[in-house]
Structure 1
């Protein structure tokens, strides 16, 4: 009797354990950002979740899929640009699963597949551009890479929302070459600006000369103003040129010529010859 009671108790414990296992396998709780892909006897049945779902043990199997945005760091890639410059580039991509069925059925590991595709696409796109475009037009390159990845991963039920190139590393030789190029560009701009300033100054001087030529006394006032500026510096000796045109403007042309012109001596009269 004791053995029979012991065996019945053991059977009851095993039965309760089996029931708990079945219940635990049957009822699943999926979070709001999770979906469950259900397979019945190896064939796709449906996508369930979120919340409490029922999975029939030994007949149905469930695969959990996270629908949150995944931030994936693309490893550093060696890229040769179109102008034959070797650079090291790394990036980061943002994507999420929008179709759990495709993400599980159409690709073995969508995370690994997306990572490898991002690496090859990064090398392919950047290899078609020159170094200056990589450094100056990152937004355009990010858009191109994002559109290519989004198109190719559409069959996997994945939406690539953004791609950002983080670093473009150059060797020291190329860094020095870029520095020399930037210095030469700054020098060229300085020379162009200086030449433009000289051209504008010459045009203004021509206009000023025309204005002073209208009234001769204006140049005298300008000379006096210049003399006042020089005298303010307390120099011991001042050599100030005074052109003759200035005297003509002050004294008048007729008076000046009359004062400077000498008198001609009178010629003696010759006697008349007798016939």
Structure 2
């Protein structure tokens, strides 16, 4: 009888312990950035949190969702630009869950789905642009990719806040070709600047010649000024041209 009573007490104690364990397991605490998607007998019930919540064991199940911004690195993608240049491009995207219900119910794994969609979108968008646009207009490309991802992930309860293209890697032959192009562009600009300077100088010289031709004595003063500048160089030999008009004037003065 004592043996039977002890077994009954042990069973009762075990049941009481189990009930207490189940009772306390129903209490959950979610952080400020967490939400719990509750399913009642397999069907969606509601989204709870943050703070203290109750999940009835065996009847309700909870899937925890993080609402913080996720920084995801997009692996390097092989892209062929519109001008048939092969490059490797990688990027980083910033997104967060804004609707936990959609993120859990509408897609199996929203992290993997967003990563795959970002890779395909990156190749698709960059393939429509030339290499120069990839290198010079990254802000525009970032905005285009972000807008496309944001629209396509809206049904998953995800908000894509930003996309940044990190690197555009070129092969060695293309780097040399770009360097030659840049050198040719600098040479062209130098020639244009030099020609512009010559044109401006010729215009100023024409105006100066017209001004001097109006006063015959002005040209003499200009020659004397030039001679003074040459003498300041401490040269032992000075070759100084004289105009024929000046010599003729001197000869006429002597004859008179």
Q: Identify whether the pair has TM-score above 0.5, normalized to the shorter chain.
A: yes
For residue 36 of structure 1, give the secondary structure of its aligned residue in structure 2: strand
1:259 maps to what in 2? 255
Q: Distance in 1 between matches of 2:49 and 2:88?
A: 43
Alignment of 1:62-101 (within 5 A): 62-101=62-101
> 1:21, CA displacement in angstroms?
2.6
Deviations 1:19-76 (A, max 9, x none): 2331233111111111111111111111111111111111111111110000000011
Identify which range, 185-194 or 239-248, moves more after superposition: 239-248
Alignment of 1:229-240 (within 5 A): 229-240=229-240
Q: Distance in 1 between matches of 2:81 and 2:27?
A: 55
2:123 maps to what in 1? 123
Q: How many residues align?
A: 256
RMSD: 1.7
For residue 159 of structure 1, give the secondary structure of its aligned residue in structure 2: strand
Alignment of 1:15-164 (within 5 A): 15-164=15-164
Where does structure 1 lack aligned partners over 5 or more consecutive residues?
A: 261-275
Q: Distance in 2 between matches of 1:9 and 1:213?
A: 131
Q: Is the 8 A contact 1:216 1:246 kept in 2?
A: no
Q: Which runs of 4+ in 1 moved over 4 A?
A: none
For residue 79 of structure 2, give the secondary structure of its aligned residue in structure 1: strand
TM-score normalized with structure 1 length? 0.88
Q: Is the 8 A contact 1:70 1:94 kept in 2?
A: yes
> 1:218, CA displacement in angstroms?
1.1
For residue 58 of structure 1, give the secondary structure of its aligned residue in structure 2: coil
- Please say which structure displays the higher CA radius of gyration: 1
1:272 maps to what in 2? none
Identify which range, 230-239 or 100-109, moves more after superposition: 230-239
1:268 maps to what in 2? none
For residue 186 of structure 2, give the secondary structure of its aligned residue in structure 1: helix
Q: Distance in 2 between matches of 1:73 and 1:96?
A: 14
Q: Distance in 1 between matches of 2:87 and 2:20?
A: 59
> 1:258, CA displacement in angstroms?
9.2
> 1:259, CA displacement in angstroms?
2.7
User: Is 1:211 aligned to residue 207 of structure 2?
Assistant: no
Q: Is the 8 A contact 1:219 1:246 kept in 2?
A: no
Identify which range, 120-129 or 205-214, moves more after superposition: 205-214
Q: Distance in 1 between matches of 2:24 and 2:186?
A: 73
Q: Distance in 1 between matches of 2:46 and 2:62?
A: 10
